[in-house]
Chains A and B, each alone.
Chain A
Amino acid sequence: MRKIRAALAAAGLAVALGTALPATAEADSAGAQGPNCDAQYFAHREDGNMRAYLLTDCNNLLGTASGNDANWGDSAGPFTAADDNFAWSVLNTGTYSGGVNNVQFYEFANYGGGTGCLARGELYVDDLRDNTFGNGARASNAISSHRWSSGCSNRWT
């Protein structure tokens, strides 16, 4: 099952969070696990793109896209063969864009198979090994297409 992971850049922030959160939300209890994702998030915020990385914690950029890519395994679009089934972390720094600002990822090309989503404002997924597609398949080393969406199905955490 997916587990809770930290979103915070610094442990100091986690401490501040404990007091800032209202009673209705829970504090992230895990330590900081995505410091580089955090840095990347703040460096690229509002640039209109999504990014995918070869390694966890947003290391080793595979590609950057402001549009869709229906097939990461072909030579067209921002993601090409060497990127297919290789992503271990993803980032969404999209703009508001009229409400089409969530990124829906898919297990197969042409938006097929299981799916998972990273919404605008919900930071990043620093380790896809902690997540699965909606059909239960593992999400790491498995993304083969993505598209921007108004909804957000099977949120990755």
Chain B
Amino acid sequence: MRAGSTSIATVTGAVLAGAIAVGTMIVGPAAEPGRPAAGSSSAGPARELTEAERSRVEQAEQRLIRRCMADAGFRYWVLAPLSPEELRAFAHPFVRNDVSWAREHGYGGLIQRKFFTLKKRDPNLAYRNRLSRAERARYLTALNGGPDTPVRSVRLPAGGSIRSAVGGCELEARRKLYGDPETYFHADKIATNLTPLYVPRLVRDKRFTTALGAWSDCMRRATGRAYADPDAVQTDLPKRTEGLSGAEAHAVEVELAVAESTCAQKSALARTVERLDREYGAPVRKRYSEEISTSARMRLAALTAANRTISSSN
């Protein structure tokens, strides 16, 4: 552990609260793609989108932005989306449990390096930077609104308020897909920020600490090192790969990621966290079932609209 005086539960709780704050990413990847949205039973058959479906909606959004920007006299490039497989390198679940992904990608270090190289070559960036000051101001206003764009604000159940100012073509694209971006923003932000309300209790549950202990024992046997929780592996990784060649570093990454994922299955840590999340999260999700079902329903509607958009533009 980094902080000797801090209990495992405290540190892990923080990591876990973070990791599952995005909804389905308790263990990576989303364990049940297309599962019914929690708490949605009373509001119809809304389900969560799969990663591939989310990607399709985002692509449709990007194409709508391109069309809208063209109408405003600007160029906009729609980049090839990251595949669900690649996206996993940028999601940081509490624990990884997909051994075959880990065997191929480790923690996704190579995918990340490739991404940041390509990011610098984004034609939209070069275009933006080439514009004159006045043109750039017009471009940005067309893309996502000017300084007078209304700031939307939603108070989170666990405290604090998130604010967002999105206008222009980005807002227009969302309106075409989701119908009412304001309603979606409100429902989605609440639905995806519920974990701080119950994870602090979850990590004190004996079933969790037992599974975590079993995972840690498994890791010691597999790697010869003491890792109190999956976060500790991440922290240790740079030390293990320091001074190694790219291929050697990738091999170390793979070894640790495979151990983490294998142990998550063997120790039942992944399964236990999922089960406890359902148990502790149920009353919270019931309390916010309206926001959960509204956002799930609107995502499904966006998928339908995206499919229509994509087929009509082909």
Contact = CB atoms under 8 A, between A and B. Distances in A.
Contacts of A121: 144, 164-166, 170
B185 interface: yes
A150 B90 contact: yes
A24 B182 contact: yes
Interface stretch (A6-14, A51-59, A83-91): A6-14
A148 B73 CA distance: 31
Contact of B18 (A9, A21, A122, A134): A134
Contacts of A134: 14-15, 17-18, 21, 196
Contact of B11 (A98, A110, A119, A135): A135
A31 interface: no
Interface residues of B, number: 71
Given A28-B153, A110-B238, A47 B125 contact: yes
B62 A96 contact: yes
Overall SS of chain B's interface: helix
B163 to A, nearest CB: 4
Nearest to A156: B160
Nearest to B120: A66
Overall SS of chain A's interface: loop
B160 A99 contact: no
Nearest to B116: A67
Interface in B188-240: 189, 193, 196, 231-232, 234-238
Nearest to B291: A24
B33 interface: no
Contacts of B21: 134, 151-155
Contacts of A17: 150-151
A129 interface: no
Contacts of B185: 25
B119 A153 contact: no
A123 B161 contact: no
A25 B152 contact: yes
Contact of A28 (B13, B119, B163): B163
A25 B140 CA distance: 25
B31 interface: no
A75 to B, nearest CB: 14
Interface in A109-157: 109-115, 117, 119, 121-123, 130-131, 133-136, 148-157
Contacts of B128: 46-47
Interface hub of A8, A98, A133 (most chain B Cβ within 10 A)? A98
Contacts of B122: 48, 95, 97
B237 to A, nearest CB: 7
A24 B153 CA distance: 9
**Top 9 closest A-B pairs, CB basis?**
A135-B14, A153-B18, A157-B160, A151-B22, A2-B160, A20-B150, A7-B163, A112-B235, A134-B14
17 contacts: A2-B159, A4-B161, A8-B151, A21-B153, A21-B182, A24-B183, A25-B152, A25-B186, A97-B122, A123-B151, A134-B18, A135-B14, A150-B82, A151-B22, A151-B91, A154-B17, A157-B161
Interface of A: 1-5, 7-9, 13, 16-17, 20-22, 24-28, 38, 42, 45-48, 66-68, 70-71, 95-100, 104, 108-115, 117, 119, 121-123, 130-131, 133-136, 148-157
Given A66-B119, A110-B235, A121-B164, 16 more contacts: A16-B150, A21-B182, A22-B182, A46-B143, A46-B144, A47-B125, A70-B238, A95-B119, A98-B81, A100-B82, A112-B232, A121-B170, A134-B196, A135-B10, A152-B21, A155-B189
